[in-house]
Structure 1
Amino acid sequence: MSAFIKTFEVGPQDRPSAPTIAIKDSIDIAGCATTAASRALADAPPAARHAQVVQRLIDAGWRIAGKTNMHELAFGMTGINDVSGTPPNPQDPALIPGGSSSGSASAVGDGLVDAALGTDTGGSVRCPAACCGVIGLKPTFGRVSRDGVAPRETTLDCVGPFARDMNTIIDVMLAIDPSFQPGKARRDASKARVAIIDVEADDDISRAVAGAMERAGVATRKVRLESMKDAFVAGLAVINAETWRAFGHLIASGKLGADIDARLRAAANTSAADLDAAERVRRAFTDEVDRTLEEAEVIVLPTMPSLPITLDAAREGTSVIAMSSLIRPFNLSGHPALTLPIPIEQSRMKAGLQIVGRKGRDEMVCSVAAFIEAMLQT
């Protein structure tokens, strides 16, 4: 079990105190093959140049610690990978680490690095962050460069950071997004208007969210997003179609893991009618979220409706599709979304509090998260 596929150092060697960051194996690092933790891509040629986000990190003084492990081809929520190994969950090694950016969340949670980059197509930053008890941010779609990131074409995927504290998340965003304004991200958010979405979740998760908001003391109001479930189904259709287009040809290699082979074959059945329906839902759900955010700076809800299942349960076939039910809709809509670890009563596990903001207002999401983080520490 390892969070890393390969460790090395790239960056300011003359600054041993420079912060360290790990990079998901779907993001190019010059001289290193981008294999997406798949045997089918094991013979890929080394990347000719760094992905733009990697180059920006190096230019900002970060030290790259290596490539992190992941769910094969970024097409799974458990984080289990029987070829490259399954990263350990720092909260409980008996539990799944979550996917697909499992290694990035694991490395941060275990304190191996200060931060990590992952990608989030259907929850692949926020899911493993919530499973592993760390912070993970999916920026507004299109805000952070995906140059040098697989898959090349997507309407869902975003590069985003993991860290153990909000100050580090803000520092990473400052490095990878030239438009990011750290002053706004560190503003006092005690007066922010917060809408709490009414969703189905386990009682201990719901109580953890309610308790965190009570301790934060911000003004809240309850709302419903009527098309949330439709957005989840639509998001599945889009991710299936786009992943099939990107990686479907790898089935012929005979080198894919059994779960990925089966999922890709099923994804091939996504029809044009399915995608047309998904695009209608995308527009309707995006409008609904936008309208809700006219009356609030952010909306909050659980990141996942329950705690992660065990590795044994996942291997025995327990469905994990519901893990992304509260996450994936915001990939479809493109809004920025962050997961913050929050305490659960009488448990050593942390739940995830998801904070969603207006498009392009990633700084507001960060400022609210930083405020809640500070209040939970008092």
Structure 2
Amino acid sequence: MTTLSDPKAGDTAFVSTFSLGAGDGPTVAVKDCIDIAGMVTRCGSAAYADFAPAAQHAAVIERLLSAGCRIVGKARMHEIAYGMTGVNAFEGTPVNPRWRDRIPGGSSSGSAVAVAAGAVDFAIGTDTGGSVRQPAICCGVIGLKPTFGSIDRTGALPAESSLDCIGPFARDMTMIERAMTAIAPGFAPVALDHAPRLGKLNLEVGIAPEMGEALDAIADATAGTVTLSGMDDAFKAAMTIIARETLAANLALLDAGAPFGDDIKARLEGARAVSDAQLEAAKAVRRTFTAEVDAALETVDAIVTPALPSPSPLLSEAHDPNKVLPLTRFLRPFNLSGHPAIVLPAPTSAGLPSGVQIIARRGEDARLCAIARRLCEAHPIFQVKDY
């Protein structure tokens, strides 16, 4: 187990702590939207707090235990996984260990904080629209969204999602690969047989200048630029699908007057306006964008993008949509396409949250991890440091 670098922040990561698993493997925190038998899956919401305890472990919990992992706690999260800040008025907001005045990110906030604080060896979160990758960068750790459908979501909430993926957080690639070996059937680390050809995303929208520093640091590893003209449409389409599916999962509770937080209730009510025609249009964008990414990845081994367009907001800015909504501009489109994507943290020269995202071909999660491992080995900027 890693040395706890910030016990106080680490404590705030958890809804509850316990010991589950008889193995001597890595210690793990699990996001509280994943069932553990005998425990209520609260999803960070008062609306779920009185649910019956889970009757059985989620599939990913069974795999963790079979791999000898020790699950030590359930991690806090943005309410019903429907937000990007990690701010939670009901259960409390995890403290970002590295940037205590900034948001921890969401929705897998507690998972990112637990890893960043050194409270666990790795953590499990879920990523529907950036919810592993964004808090990973916000807290200065590594986060991976696997290929859509590659990890069994049985026992994770919402039960039905066409975008959501279960994925790990860790402080180094060795532990990311160890986590994936545990949770992803057939995953095994691989060695690269050639230097990876990385295509840098042609940025058609602006980013804060300092957010390009990490990409500049790996300029020697890039082989030109890649244009994905559908990025903006894909971002919007993913928002549409998430709104519709989140409403469907929570409609009965909403109509019954369940005690959702004010911000969540407002977003759910707003999602009622998403029409069938808008949903079908979003699905069409999904098909087009997926094909575009597939085609781009025929020319390079992976695509690299900024992880964030600007530094993560201060806690005092957490309710400013102009600060929050752009956070997943480069992340959310790859939930729509289903490609595996990993983020590597690399704080700016001024010490602010930043990093890069790497996207690979669908089904090539092990190769993506190998590319990320090579970048971490070759470029110290991506090595997570104690603070």
Residue matched to 2:208: 202
After superposition, the Cα gap between the structure-2 partners of 1:315 and 1:278, relative to the gap in structure 1 and judged at 3 Å, is: closer
Q: Percent identity?
A: 47
Is 1:27 aligned to residue 30 of structure 2?
no
Give the count of matched residue pairs: 368
Q: Return the TM-score normalized by structure 2.
A: 0.92
The CA deviation at 1:316 is 5.8
Distance apart, 1:76 and its partner CA: 0.2
Q: Relative to 1, partners in 2 of residues 1:44 and 1:206: Cα closer, same or farther, differing over 3 Å? A: same
Of 358, 365, 368 in structure 1, the residue corresponding to residue 368 of structure 2 is 365
Aligned to 1:340: 344
Shift of 1:348: 2.5
Whether the aligned pair in 2 keeps the contact of 1:355 and 1:365 (CA below 8 Å) is yes
- Specify every segment of 5 or more residues in structure 1 that has no aligned partner in the other structure, as ranges: none
Whichever residue aligns with residue 116 of structure 1, its letter is A
Distance 2:116 2:194 in 1: 28
Read off the aligned partner of 1:297 and give its amino acid letter.
D
2:283 — aligned with what? Answer: 279
Q: 1:278 deviation in Å? A: 0.4
Find 1:303's aligned residue among 304, 307, 316: 307
Residue equivalent to 1:156: 163
Displacement, 1:350?
Answer: 4.0
Whole-angstrom distance in 2 between the partners of 1:166 and 1:354: 14
Secondary structure of 1:192 counterpart: coil
Q: CA deviation at 1:95?
A: 0.2
- Amino acid of the structure 1 residue aligned with 2:110: G
Q: Secondary structure at the match of 2:318?
A: helix
- 1:155-304 correspondence to structure 2 within 5 Å: 155-182=162-189, 184=190, 187-188=191-192, 191-199=195-203, 200-211=206-217, 213-214=218-219, 217-251=220-254, 252-304=256-308
1:314-373 CA-to-partner distances (Å, cap 9, x unmatched) read 14665411011111100001000000112422x233412100010000111101110111
In 2, Cα distance between equivalents of 1:189 and 1:7: 43
SS of alignment partner, residue 291 of structure 2: helix
Which one-letter code corresponds to 1:374 in the other structure?
Answer: E
Contact 2:47–2:259 (CA under 8 A) maintained in structure 1? yes
Distance in 2 between residues matched to 1:188 and 1:332, nearest whole Å: 27
Residues 101 and 119, structure 1, Cα contact 8 Å, conserved in 2: yes
Conservation of the 8 A alpha-carbon contact between 2:313 and 2:323:
no
- CA distance in 1: counterparts of 2:53 and 2:181, whole angstroms: 28
> Residue 34 of structure 1 contacts residue 46 of structure 1 at CA under 8 Å; is this kept in 2?
yes
What SS does the corresponding residue of 1:161 show, helix, strand or coil?
strand
2:92 corresponds to which letter in structure 1? G
Give the Cα separation in 2 of the matches to 1:190 and 1:102.
36
Partner of 1:111, secondary structure, is coil
The reply to whether residue 323 of structure 1 matches residue 330 of structure 2 is no
- 2:280 alignment partner, SS class: helix
Shift in Å, 1:250: 2.1
Match of 1:11 among 15, 18, 21: 21
CA contact under 8 A between 1:298 and 1:356: conserved in structure 2?
yes
**Alignment correspondent of 1:54:** 61
1:353 to 352, 356, 361: 356
Separation in 2, partners of 1:349, 1:54 = 34
Measured in 2, the distance between the counterparts of 1:361 and 1:37 equals 33
Q: Which amino acid aligns with 1:311?
A: L
Instruction: Tell me the residue number matched to 1:96.
Output: 103
Which SS does the other structure have where 1:6 is aligned? strand
Per-residue deviation, 1:206: 1.1
Q: CA RMSD in A?
A: 1.4
CA distance in 2, matches of 1:309, 1:44: 33
Task: Tell me the amino acid that sits aligned with residue 285 of structure 1.
Answer: F
Hey, what's the Cα distance between the residues in 2 that align with 1:254 and 1:63? 34
Query: Residues of 2 paired with 1:201 and 1:128: CA distance?
Result: 18
Instruction: Answer yes or no: is the 8 Å Cα contact 2:140–2:347 preserved in 1.
Output: no
Which amino acid in structure 2 is aligned with residue 333 of structure 1? S
Cα 1:250–1:189 change in 2 (3 A) is farther
Match of 1:141 in 2: 148
Matched, 1:43 2:50: yes
| 2-structure distance, mates of 1:232, 1:210 | 25
Alpha-carbon contact 2:146-2:365 (below 8 Å) kept: yes
**How far, CA to CA, are the matches of 1:103 and 1:25 in structure 2?**
9
Check 1:189–1:137 CA distance in 2 against 1; reply closer, same or farther (3 A cut).
farther
Q: Secondary structure at the match of 1:23?
A: strand
Distance in 1, matches of 2:347 and 2:193, equals: 21
Q: Which amino acid in the other structure matches residue 191 of structure 1?
A: A
